[in-house]
Amino acid sequence: MLNASEPKILVVEDDPQMRESLRALLSFYSFDIQMSINLQDAFHFLSDTVYDLILLDLHLNDQSGFEVMDYLEDNKLGTRVIIYTGEQSEKKAIKALKKGAIDYLKKPIDPDELIASINKGITLLNQQSEKKQLVNTIISSRERYRRIIDSQKDYVLLLSKDYKISFINRPYANSLGFNEPKELIGRFYKELINESAFNTLFGSLDAVRSSSTAMTVELQILDPNGLSRWQEWDFTGVFDKNGQLSEIQCIGRDVTQSKLRTKELEEKKEKFRKLAELTSDWLWEIDNNNVYTYVNPMVFDILGYRPEELLGKSLFDFMPAREAKRMKPLFQRLKAERKPLKAIEKINRHKNGSEIILETSGVPIFDQVGAVIGYRGIDRNVTTRGMAEKKLSEKTDRRIDMSGKDTSNAGSLIIICASCKKVHEENDNWSQIENYFLTHFNFTFSHGICPECAKKLYPELYKDNILP
């Protein structure tokens, strides 16, 4: 297995300044590097040494970096390639990726992006090395290790160059409806899966016949009961000393449940999005850095911003400085304690400069290990409520008589229908409650949906913490 701290990297770069910058960066991370100034230099190093990764400038004076990739393919070298270039060509990017490049970076190169790409390549190489080691173990002593292989959840399959089965482990044989793996030895693989699945698979099988580069493909198959299932397969060609294909190593796994969970999650997200478009409240999601990743259109009615104006920005960017200073410690504490946000009143700044009072509620979003990676929540505009409470307080104060007695509630009995919720007026008419309060109290109404009703109408959204 590769030592991830010291992979062997060949850099092919003709520009001296760029070459030295890459040397300094990669040396800082303790990578074992070799610098090459042109194609001939690169071919010389490749004929002499096995490299784990190649950082390749696509344009080398009047030469093309694609020639290096052709050399790797012609000589059946499994070296991973990261392409970088200053040219903005989508066609060349697609061509590079089809030829096996694991990444396509644009100049000027961001150091963090480059290191992340290298780590991605190292991970792929380690995974490929582990898979090859597993299959080689099977080849060297199949009977000795059959019990071990049969205990694996992954499917293991070896195919001859004409796609006949030479080895199959028990879990995969059982998934195909056979009790014993030996029943399948010598049969054509095409006989065992549905035609559409094999047609999808054939392109990958054909590709590994001429290259030792591993190919990954996702298949939708029909099981013996006629039910649709999803599988993910990795295929690698094995070549003899003369460079001729000897067999194809295949390792697969059933990913049906993962697919179904993903589909279910997408459906729930879609329900959430649809509900978000209808509600009069502002729905949002933030990541671990308190940056907005989703905002529904109601933010425009509340703060005057379009959703895209908030995406990628911190929630504290839309608060007055004094309020952001007050709220940051509260959010940090609740996140550290993995607690929800419950009816927190905060001040936000409207696009026109005015201050808006919002009531915030939200639930934490957890990753697979239970760490908080963000929040999903809802903001309600309570500015009018605050102003009404202030006016009511002032009105109450004015209605206290000279003797100090509070008469603000005198004669204030309101009769409300227990069924339709209409209000009985003094003239014996029955009015909608909104009209009554607009007439008598000069309130402004905005219809929403309370948490209790929302839970009754959309229980599936609360079941999985999609809404707080």
- 319: its two tokens: 């608060």
Cα 389 from Cα 139, distance rounded (Å):
80
What's 422's DSSP letter? -
Model pTM? 0.36
In whole angstroms, what separates CA 53 from the centre of its chain? 26
Q: Is the pLDDT reported for residue 251 higher than 80?
A: yes
Please give the pLDDT value at position 420: 78
**Distance (Å) of CA 77 to CA 50, 80, 445:** 8, 9, 71
Pick one of 3.40.605.10, 3.40.50.2300, 3.40.50.300, 1.10.1040.10 as the CATH number of 8-135: 3.40.50.2300
Phi/psi at 392 (5° precision): -60, -40
Please give the pLDDT value at position 223: 82
Cα distance from N-terminal residue to C-terminal residue, the chain:
46
Q: Give residues with Cβ within 8 angstroms of 163, minimum separation 6.
A: 188, 189, 190, 205, 248
Please give the pLDDT value at position 272: 65
Cα 318 from Cα 350, distance rounded (Å):
8
Q: Is the pLDDT reported for residue 305 higher than 90?
A: yes
Domain ranges for the chain: 8-135, 141-254, 261-381
Please give the pLDDT value at position 427: 73
Please give the pLDDT value at position 286: 95
Please give the pLDDT value at position 1: 37
- 78: its two tokens: 């499994």
Q: What is the pLDDT of residues 110-164, one digit of tens each?
A: 888 888 888 888 888 777 777 777 666 656 655 555 666 666 778 988 999 888 9
Pick one of 3.30.450.20, 3.40.50.720, 3.50.50.60, 1.10.240.10 as the CATH number of 261-381: 3.30.450.20
Q: Is the pLDDT reported for residue 411 higher than 50?
A: no
What's 153's DSSP letter? S
- Band (pLDDT 50/70/90 cuts) for residue 448 is low
What's 110's DSSP letter? P
Please give the pLDDT value at position 312: 94
What's 76's DSSP letter? T
Domains 141-254 and 261-381 in one fold: yes
- 10: its two tokens: 């060949």
- 170: its two tokens: 């028990």
Please give the pLDDT value at position 136: 67
**Distance (Å) of CA 12 to CA 9, 51, 57, 107, 367:** 10, 12, 6, 15, 39
Superfamily of domain 141-254: PAS domain (3.30.450.20)
**Looking at per-residue confidence, does 459 or 84 come out higher?**
84
Cα 453 from Cα 432, distance rounded (Å):
20
